[in-house]
Every structure is written in structure tokens, then in C-alpha cells.
Structure 1
Amino acid sequence: MRALKMNGTGNAFLLIDARQGPVEVDAETITRWRQSHHFDQVLMLAPSQSGDARYRIWNRDGGEVGACGNGARCAGWYLMRESGKATALLDTAYGLTQARRTADNRVSVDLGPARTDWRDIPLAREMDTIALDYSLTASGLTVSRPGAVSMGNPHIVFDVPDLTGLPVEVLGPMAEYDPLFPDGVNAGFMQIRDRTHIRLRVWERGAGLTRACGTGAAAAIVAGHRKGRLDRQCHVSVDGGDLAIDWKENNHVWLEGPVELEGDVTL
């Protein structure tokens, strides 16, 4: 087993290469690792018969999840550095996905199709996912009518006029645990600067407020385009830097941005 600290645009990961032998990961183990290391998610690479590696993800609260876009970029970079190739194939919970090297320490990854049916999110009841009949209020501020998108994990995205002073740390948990979202939800708050550029902050279920969320960036562009406010190709400014999103005509969403290897760690 090899363990490393990596980040994708500030999204912090503990990457475990378990291809040479199984490693047990559970909530108790992750709690112990958190005492010595800061991370938003734990990523694991395991043997795969169909890809270069099986790719699994756990949030910092110990719950396993199906998708993490910045994590896929980091896992792909690690595999490409090892193989010397310009692409890597990840065997994920939502199928095989490709990562591509776009420049030194920059990787693009296919996040798969955007799903927008209310049952795919999932929601507890039928709603128009372009603009949910849903709102949150905190500190005298109300956000409402978010778009809902599944990128292999559930997202809602609120359009807000200004992120300055918005209490994301309060609003995010309110959405995460709302009964409308039976699997929980990632809550994004998007300030549109123009049709090709947004500012975004995301409260991630099971992880809290992170410096970047790749699937959240993808969901924001899908949600904004469905409302007629964004193009399909956009830059997303997050707390950790900038990401690029390209929502292809075949419905697949590509995420591109920087990765950083911080070094090996001992668990």
C-alpha cells in the first residue's frame, strides 16, 4: 500500500494505492486518519479487470460515495505518471471514465452524463429540476429555485447575486439534511459573472465546505445552461483556483484543471 496527499484545485485528498493488496476502509479508520491528516475525501485505487484501476471514494465523515471529479483527476494523474501515457481509464461506480493529461500537472476527466430527472437526483417527490420549488433562509437572506442535477452524486445549485457574506456554512447543512433529498445533497451557490464565467462555492455532503468541488462545478454549468443563463463551456472560479467545464452535446461533462502532489504520508 502507498498513501499520498494530493489536491485538485485545493480539493484535498488522501490517495491510497491498494492495487497490490486489499486495504480496509471504514468510518472508524477514516476518523483515525483525520487525527493526523487533513483531507476532504479518501480515494482508493484497487485492481480492475476493465480499467487501469478501480476508483472508490469516501467522504471525511466515513460514508462512501459514487463520484468525485477532482479526485478522478488526481487519480488519473497518478496513474498516467506511473504508466507514462497521456490517458488513464478509471473503473468507477458510474462506469469506465477516461482521464487525459492536458498539460504539466493539469488533467481533464469525463464525468459521464448529466442526469436531470427528479428520480435520478433523487428527490423525495416529483419536481421540475430546472428550478425546484425550494428555498432556504439564514441570517435574513433567502436563496430559492435551485437547479438539480446528478453527476453520479446529487447536486442542487442556487443562483445568487453576490456570494460575499452569503452564509454558505449555514445554508449548506440545511439542504444536505432536508427530507426532500433522501440521499442527502451537495449544495452549490453560484454567482454568474457572464455567460462563460461563474464564481462558485459548494457545501459537500459528508465533507462540508471545500475549496473546490468538481462535480459541483459540472452541476452548476448544467443547471445554469438549462435556465438559459450560461454557455456549455465555462470557467468556474472556486476558493482553490479555477476549473474548466465543457458540457458536450452527447450529454457528457468534462472537467479540467490543475492537480498537485503534496507527498507521501504514513497511515
Structure 2
Amino acid sequence: MAIAATISLSVSPTTRHSAAAAFNPFRSSSSTTVSVSFSPALRITSLRSSIPFRNPSFRVSATSMSIQAPQQTSSTSFLDRRESGVLHFVKYHGLGNDFILVDNRGSTEPRISPEQAKKLCDRNFGIGADGVIFALPGTNDTDYTMRIFNSDGSEPEMCGNGVRCFARFIAELENLHGNHSFKVHTGAGLIVPEIQGDGKVRVDMGEPILKAADVPTGLPANKQEAVVKSELDVDGVTWNVTCVSMGNPHCVTFGTIENKLNLAEIGPKFEHHVMFPARTNTG
């Protein structure tokens, strides 16, 4: 599905920015056409069905359209536009992780702040995303630099699904076709994504890091230097977890999840657990 909308989002009384986007979707990727401007009120408008919020100053309406094969379009992409004060973006998903992608190749610093990214990622009052990804100039003999602001404003080292979306974004920006690869600098080091002939993206994430101190985790190693099926108390419940890093920390537990388990509530308790000094992703 693709949704066309116009969004106004409050940032601060003294700051005004705007963002606009239109995107010709790749096969098997989702696309959103959104125009965003920052102002004291929020308003989403398009073609069909008005849905009032409880707050009478908010109004939302939207229309959904089926994605079809790309149509013939103007030779000038929206990504080529450079209006002053306008932030162009596209939205991708990789295996359900959705991201706002921003062309930031003209600067070594992200074009929006972590707080603004947090507002944009809000699924009720913003565009909605797991994070904002910036395509910046390369450094240390790399072709590009990738930075991410999570939906809570934090900045992770990198993201596997995110770097695949990043690679497709670069292919669109550079009008690349066929097989290509490029070197990407991330907070987790060098990543080399490969664009395949069918448009899919392959990424060698390197060998997993299992050494407890390097994950990092405060849980004591119980298999050589690794933490494997070790007991972890989370809010009074004991879990058997294995700790691993693929450039950023992960905590993995195996078993059957009961339907009544509130993942939205327990997830942050894993993430901010004292045993994970750099926080963690939990699977």
C-alpha cells in the first residue's frame, strides 16, 4: 500500500523546517509519498475519509492506493530538486523494519537533529518509522557514510536491515543498474553491500562477535569467553539468553512466547538492563 498525505508537525516555537517526498517504488518495497512541514499544529490531508482526533485542533484524513508497476515519469527525479529549506526523503522497509532515508551527501552532519528525527518517526503524529537513515559523504577511503537516528532519538552503530535499505537508496540516488558494490562507513566499521542484478541487496555482516566484553554484556562468560544460554533476570522473570554482536549488541532467547506476553512492555526492560551497558536488541 502507498499513502499520500500532508503532515504538519511541531518542533519548536523558533524553528521551522519542511520536508517533501515523492517516490517511484522499487519492486517488493513499500513507498510513501509525504509532504512534511513543521508548525505548531498537526494536519494530515489527502483525498478521502476525514477522521477526527479527540483533540478538536487535530484533523486527519488519508487515502490508500495499490502499488502498481512504475509508470513513465519525468526524467527529473524529486531527489534532484534542491529547494531551499526543503528536506526530501523516501521511505523503505527491510523485512518490516521501516526507515526514512535522507540524502545527506552534501554535508558530514545529519540535516536534522535527533529530536526532530524522533518527531518524524512518531507513528501517530509524524511519518512513522523505526529510524531515520542519512546517506553522508564517505570517510577513510569509503564511498559513503551511514548514520541512523532511532525512533527514540538514540544513535545505534548500524542496522542490518537499515544498511540494505541504504544500499537501495544509493542505487536510486546514483541511478545504478545491474551489479554494484560500494564501501560504507558505519559506527560498526566497514560494511560492503552488494546490489544484485535482480535489485536485491546482499550484505556480508562479517563474523558474529561472541566475546562477552566485546558484545558488550556484564553477564559472566559460561562457554569459553561467550555468554550462551545464561540466566538473566528481567523484572522477576528468568530468561536463558545468548549474547552476540553483529556490530551492535543483541540478546537472543529461544522458546515459545506466550500470547499474553506484552512485548512492548518487556522489550525496553531488556534493552535498558544493567547487564547491557550499551543497551541491546532482543530477539
TM range (shorter): 0.5 to 0.7
Give the partner amino acid of 2:138.
S
- What RMSD over aligned residues (CA atoms) do the two structures have, in Å? 2.2
Instruction: Quote the residue 1:31 is aligned against.
Output: 118
State the Cα distance separating 1:137 from its structure 2 match: 6.1
Computing the radius of gyration over CA atoms, which structure comes out larger, 1 or 2? 2
Instruction: Quote the residue 1:155 is aligned against.
Output: 250
Pick aligned residue for 1:114 from 200, 208, 222? 208
Q: How does 1:155-174 map to 2 (within 5 A)?
A: 155-162=250-257, 164-174=259-269
Does the 8 Å contact 2:104/2:135 carry over to 1?
A: yes
Compared CA separation, residues 167 and 31, structure 1 to 2 (3 A): closer
Per-residue deviation, residues 18-65 of structure 1 (Å, max 9, x unmatched): 102344433322233233210101111111142221111111111111
Structure richer in strand, relative to its length? 1
Give the partner amino acid of 1:70.
N
Give the partner amino acid of 1:45.
A
Q: How does 1:72-151 map to 2 (within 5 A)?
A: 72-81=163-172, 82=174, 83-86=176-179, 87-102=181-196, 104-128=198-222, 129-136=227-234, 142=237, 144-151=239-246
Does the 8 Å contact 1:79/1:88 carry over to 2?
A: no
Give the partner amino acid of 2:144.
A
The 1-side partners of 2:258 and 2:98 are apart by 22
Compared CA separation, residues 172 and 36, structure 1 to 2 (3 A): closer
Does the 8 Å contact 1:2/1:16 carry over to 2?
A: yes
Pick aligned residue for 1:45 from 135, 139, 143? 135
Moved over 6 A (4+): none
State the Cα distance separating 1:89 from its structure 2 match: 2.3
Unaligned runs of 5+ in 2: 1-86
Instruction: Quote the residue 1:245 is aligned against.
Output: none
Instruction: Quote the residue 2:93 is aligned against.
Output: 7
State the Cα distance separating 1:14 from its structure 2 match: 0.6
TM-score (norm 1): 0.62
Give the partner amino acid of 1:69.
G
Query: 3-state SS of the aligned residue for 1:146?
Result: strand
Does the 8 Å contact 1:76/1:90 carry over to 2?
A: no
Per-residue deviation, residues 148-200 of structure 1 (Å, max 9, x unmatched): 00111111111113464433223212211211111111111xxxxxxxxxxxx
Query: 3-state SS of the aligned residue for 1:113?
Result: coil
State the Cα distance separating 1:104 from its structure 2 match: 3.4
The 1-side partners of 2:219 and 2:259 are apart by 33
State the Cα distance separating 1:124 from its structure 2 match: 2.6
Compared CA separation, residues 48 and 183, structure 1 to 2 (3 A): same
Instruction: Quote the residue 2:146 is aligned against.
Output: 55
Give the partner amino acid of 1:179.
V
TM-score (norm 2): 0.59
Query: 3-state SS of the aligned residue for 2:183?
Result: strand
Does the 8 Å contact 2:104/2:111 carry over to 1?
A: no
Compared CA separation, residues 164 and 102, structure 1 to 2 (3 A): farther
State the Cα distance separating 1:16 from its structure 2 match: 0.8
Query: 3-state SS of the aligned residue for 1:33?
Result: helix
Identity %, equivalent residues: 28
The 1-side partners of 2:246 and 2:220 are apart by 19
Does the 8 Å contact 2:117/2:131 carry over to 1?
A: no
Per-residue deviation, residues 215-235 of structure 1 (Å, max 9, x unmatched): xxxxxxxxxxxxxxxxxxxxx
Query: 3-state SS of the aligned residue for 1:66?
Result: coil
